Amino acid sequence: MAKKTAGKTAKKKKKTRKKPESAIGPRVVSDEEEKAVVKLRKRAKNKRKESRPAVLLSGNEACVMGALAAGVGFFAGYPITPATEIAELLSQELPARGGTFIQMEDEISSMAAIIGASIAGIKAMTATSGPGFSLMQENLGFSIIAEIPCVVVNVMRGGPSTGTPTSPSQGDVMQARWGTHGEHSIIVLSPNSVEEAYTLTVKAFNLSEKYRTPVILLLDEVIAHMREKIHLPSEEDTPVFNRVKPTVPPEWYEPYEDTPSLVPPMAAFGDGYRYHITGLVHDTHGFPTNKQNEIKAHLLRLRSKIEKNRREIVMVESEMIDDARIAVFAYGSVSRAARRAIVLARSTGRKAGLVRPKTLWPFPEVAIEQLAAHVDVIIVPEMNLGQIVREVERKAAGKCRVVPLNRIDGKLISPEEILREILEV
Amino acid sequence: MSEEATLKTGRKQIRLAGFGGQGIVLSGMILGKAITIFEDGNAVMTQSYGPEARGGACSADVVISDERINYPRVTVPDVLVVMAEEAARTYGPNTADDAIVLVNERLVKTIPDKPGLTVYTIPATDIAEELGRAIVANIVMLGFITATADVVSYEAMKQAILDSIPAGTEELNLAAFQAGFDHGAIELMNEE
């Protein structure tokens, strides 16, 4: 099992590393110095990369490697195309590392099992596809309201129902947001490469532990089964966050206390802290409540702990966007077709650029607001009939045109289709 | 407009197609591994298959490039391998004008014949059966690709095969690889 970094130390460490150049202090750095530093850093980075052997992995395999690096100790699931390889590989890796793998009777119980494991203090995950994800929705809501960290991987295939098992799709974007009932916020990440399947799985565990909430990793069939060469990051390059545990004596412990961080420390069952967990709206002691002020406070805290931390949670990558008049907003495998189309468009003199959300939910609202203010049109290609495009339209708010580009025949959108759209708009 | 040209620059696209159970995806993986790991090149492999456990059209796409590979699927194959009739009908019509097409002789009737194509018919299944098991026809084909298609070196492919097959099957698989390679080398010599 992975290293036991205390939550706070891990956080601090990360902060120092990520500190931007300008925040260091008032010292003026000459261009040459800057260049030299960049060069050295690049060389060091390459050296680090070279020292680790390259591996050819699929997205699903990289997801497993990421989960192991993040410290997963428990998997419960039911095999389903195109997510099966995640269960298959973890069924070998987890027992070998002292972890637990259970093949459950269905996805309802799979979700219940990982919640149970997480309550006992173990990092837990499951992996499924559309039909299984539908069955998980009820218990997904439970893990939200009871604030149980866990990671749910959904490798999207064509739906509804059993749909087209082996075809890629992006049809579950809205289900990931609103599939479970009731008012809630949720974190959903979407990788577009094998390397990112690794890094975003680690991130999913970290966010889940930090904010005590389920995190959904939305892959699509292309990314899940695509094989690419990657250099797995070393342990020191893989910051791991572990949930904050209570430091007060058990009799003082208030499991759902409203702390300044909005995330109460979480005791594991068996640690000596006895408390009540329920899917009913509860007071700070974990017992059901019907008091108006307590209901409101509880639901608002669940929302705020995610919405107020958008800065850390929402990740967006922009490329070739500074002078762009046409933006393509794309995620997952489609973003790779989009990037190809943009490179081609640029070669014919069209000023196109790519904005790619790695975080789908919470939706990158600020990114779209800024984008809409400086481009003429945003093209939104998706392997569905238009899901994330509604959010783009909402935040663009008429400041620029928003053009959907949709495909639902089980094939990945091609660069030519996107290029055609770029040339036409 | 020069998009077609740009689309092809620096990119070599290989499509292996057959039916589920022929080891198509494994072949793609081995080819990908040979290029990325044993030659330190850059390649991306994707697959396409049906819901059946065996049977049904199935393909593996390998894109090789010196540059960053954005779009992972093959658009127009420079090298097309068809191991079965259904695959030949589905994927045969879509190739680059000057593509190399490798056909598994016994299982394919519809042989692509556009002018400009270089077509080889290879008795991959027969060679595999002679060696003992039809299941290694895919490895025979990998040997043939290595000899004729100029995408990967002999040594890298051999290493990748050894790295990917179950223990205890090394002899059979290497024999299959060698037989395919020799067959390809002879074809090339005959051409000259």
pLDDT value of residue B137: 97
- Per-residue pLDDT band at A29 (split at 50, 70, 90): low
In this prediction, residue A88 has a pLDDT band, given cuts at 50, 70 and 90, of very high
Q: What is the pLDDT of residues A130-169, one digit of tens each?
A: 999 999 999 999 999 999 999 999 999 999 999 999 999 9
Question: B106-145 in b/e burial notation, b at 16+ Cβ within 10 A?
Answer: bbbeeebeeeebeebebebbebbeebeebbbbbbbbbbbb
CATH class in words for B3-191: alpha beta
How many whole angstroms from its chain centre is CA B32?
11
Could you read off the pLDDT of A375-395 as tens digits, one per residue?
A: 999 999 999 999 999 999 999
Element (H, E) at B2: none
Once rounded to an integer, what is the mean pLDDT over residues A83-89? Answer: 98
Which of A226, A339, A344 has the CB atom closest to B45's CB atom?
A: A226
Contact state of A336 with B70 under an 8 Å Cβ cutoff:
yes
Say yes or no to pLDDT of A9 above 80.
no
CA distance A326 to chain B (A): 19
pLDDT number for residue A19: 40
Distance of CA A30 to the CA centre of its chain: 38
Q: Is the pLDDT of residue A22 over 90?
A: no
pLDDT single digits (tens) B10-38: 789 999 999 989 999 999 999 999 999 99
Q: Break chain A into its structural domains and give their ranges.
A: 54-237, 316-424
By the 8 A CB rule, do A49 and A72 touch? no
A-chain residues near B50 (CB < 8 A):
166
- Over its C-alpha atoms, chain B yields an Rg (Å, rounded) of 15
Give the pLDDT band (50/70/90) at residue A16: very low
H and E: helices and strands count for chain B: 7, 6
Tokens representing residue A94 in the block:
């987890």
Q: List the one residue out of B142, B150, B149, B12 whose CA is nearest residue B75.
A: B12
Judged by CB atoms closer than 8 Å, whether chains meet at A222 and B72 is answered as: yes
Distances (CA, A) of A88 to A325, A354, B136: 46, 35, 25
Same-fold call for A54-237 versus A316-424? yes
* Alpha-carbon A358 to chain mean position: 7
pLDDT at B52: 72
Predicted local distance difference test score (pLDDT) of residue B50:
81
Average pLDDT over residues A29-42: 67
pLDDT band at residue A28 using 50, 70 and 90 as cut-offs: low
| pLDDT 10s digits, A226-285 | 999 999 998 888 999 999 999 999 999 999 999 999 999 999 999 999 999 999 999 999
Model confidence pLDDT, tens digit, residues B116-158: 999 999 999 999 999 999 999 999 999 999 999 989 999 999 9
Domain ranges of chain B: 3-191
Alpha helix locations (H) across A31-124?
31-51, 59-70, 84-96, 107-119
Percent of chain B with pLDDT over 70: 94
Q: A33-42, A293-302, B144-153: which has the minimum mean pLDDT? A: A33-42
The mean pLDDT of A109-115, rounded to a whole number, is: 98
**Residue A41 pLDDT grade (very low, low, confident, very high; cuts 50, 70, 90):** low
CATH top class, domain A54-237: alpha beta
The CB-side HSE value for A32 (13 A sphere, CA atoms) comes to: 0
At B67-116, the pLDDT tens digits run 999 999 999 999 999 999 999 999 999 999 999 999 999 999 999 989 99
Q: What percentage of chain A carries pLDDT values higher than 70?
A: 88
Q: What is the per-residue pLDDT for B2?
A: 36
Q: Answer with the residue of higher pLDDT: A1 or B36.
A: B36
Select the residue of B3, B70, B72 nearest A419 (Cβ to Cβ): B3
Side-chain half-sphere CA neighbours of A347 within 13 A: 15
Which stretches within A97-193 are classed as H helix?
A: 107-119, 130-145, 173-178
Confidence class of residue A43 from pLDDT cuts 50, 70 and 90?
low
At A18, list the tokens: 């990520």
- Neighbour tally for B12: CB within 10 Å: 20
Chain B: residue nearest A55 by CA?
A: B37
**Phi, psi at A170, each rounded to 5°:** -130, 40
Task: Indicate yes or no: CB of B50 within 8 angstroms of CB of A412.
Answer: no
Q: Could you count the other beta carbons within 10 Å of the beta carbon of residue B164?
A: 17
Using alpha carbons, select from B99, B100, B82 the residue that is nearest to residue B91. Answer: B82
Burial class (CB in 10 A: 0-12, 13-18, 19+), A83: buried
Higher pLDDT, A179 or B56: A179
Chain A residues within 8 A (CB-CB) of chain B? 54-56, 81, 164-166, 222, 225-229, 333, 336-337, 339-340, 343-344, 347-348, 412, 414-416, 419
Q: Which stretches of B77-124 are assigned E, i.e. beta strand?
A: 79-82, 100-104, 118-122
**pLDDT computed for residue B53 by the predictor:** 66
Residue A353 has pLDDT above 50, yes or no: yes
- What fold, for A316-424? Rossmann fold (3.40.50)
Angle A101-A237-B41 (CA atoms, 0-180°, nearest 5)?
90
